[in-house]
Amino acid sequence: MSYKIGVDGGGTKTECILVDATGRMVACHVGVGCNPSVVGPEAAASILTAALDSLRAQAVAHQAGNSQGLPSQRDFLITYTLLCMAGSRGFWDEFAAALTGFGRVTAVDDSRPILELATSGRPGLALHAGTGSFVAARAPDESVHFAGGVGWRFGDPGSGYDLGARAIARAVLELQGWAPASRLGPAVREYAQLAPTATASAVTRHFYQHSDPTPHIAALAPTVLRLASEGDAVARNIVVVSTGGLLDLAISVGTKLFTEARLADVSAGLSGPILNHPLVVETLAARSPMPLVTLTDSPIEGVRQLLTRL
């Protein structure tokens, strides 16, 4: 029996699936994140190697359950492994080239599963916002393109980190007395588990001294979205401006690849809980020249679809 392995490797988690020849998932493995930019190259390689070994062991066990006795190496075969990875493409290309025992191994960006969910292999775009954000596109000539995704240091519009960082910056100005009060000031202090009387300095000190500040700041995004939905004008403006920046990037990509006159015929998928939030969908749809479609499946389903199609 032959199998394929698909991996969605990001900064938060590493999710792997084992599928049979029909494309049916028969095993999975979920571990910690393996982005080399976050955990370092050695740890990234170690995490993914352990995940792949786990799936190979599960392939043996699955085959044993469908055969008499213990299967030999000839009884099953991993023919293809697809690595959809965050972080340095060069690093993962080298990792893929050195990997043995997993069939033909291909490394692509972690945007590809999202793009697959959005387009099913056809021309179109995908906008994704999690801790970071990016735009992916498949052009009419079937070439694949990636935009944004530069990370928190340089700004990922529409991302959880961008929403959280904007909210903290505004809350600090409010606490300093330089901006009119909104619900953000108390909300940020509550999120940081600070006293209601905590000063602006206490707020900034909390986030600067946190052991893992990037996901901590990004996790503030649901609070910002909630306040925006409940009518807080400041929170709403943050959401509109931040996610609007990601849409502007998508429009630029779409205009270059498809021409502005054809954008109305180009579907764009919205991926991640931020972009799927009703308020965000409403505000983006009101100014998007492209029809927007919300994507509810997880990226690993996009990996499975890629394994089936490729």
Residues 35 and 91 reside in one and the same domain: yes
Specify whether 142 is located in the same domain as 271.
Answer: yes
Residue 202 lies in a domain: yes
Per the domain annotation, does 37 fall within a domain?
yes
- Residues 104 and 143 both lie in one domain: no
Containing structural domain, residue 37: 2-110
Region 10-17: what's the mean pLDDT? 90
Q: Are residues 142 and 205 in the same domain?
A: yes
Q: What is the pLDDT of residue 71?
A: 45
pTM of the predicted protein model? 0.86
CATH of the domain at 151: 3.30.420.40
Percent of the chain scoring above 90 in pLDDT: 79
Q: Within this chain, do residues 188 and 65 fall inside the same structural domain, yes or no?
A: no
Per residue in 200-249, pLDDT tens? 999 999 999 999 898 899 999 999 999 999 999 999 999 999 999 999 99
Q: In residues, how long is the chain?
A: 310
Domain shared by 279 and 139, yes or no: yes
- Number of domains present in the structure of the chain: 2
Q: For residue 160, is pLDDT > 90?
A: yes
Backbone angles phi, psi at 16, to 5 degrees: -125, 145
pLDDT in tens, 52-95: 999 888 888 877 766 544 444 455 589 999 999 988 889 999 99
- pLDDT (0 to 100) of residue 70: 43
Please report whether residue 165 resides in a domain.
yes
Share of the chain above pLDDT 70, in %: 96
Burial 296-308 (b: 16+ CB within 10 A, else e): eeebbbbbbbbbe
Question: Degrees (nearest 5) of the Cα angle 296, 298, 300?
Answer: 150
What pLDDT, on a 0 to 100 scale, did the predictor assign at position 69? 45
How many Å apart are CA 280 and CA 131, to the nearest integer? 16
Geometric angle at alpha carbon 147, from 11 and 241, rounded to 5°: 85
Q: Are residues 19 and 130 in the same domain?
A: no
* Same domain membership, residue 175 and residue 289: yes
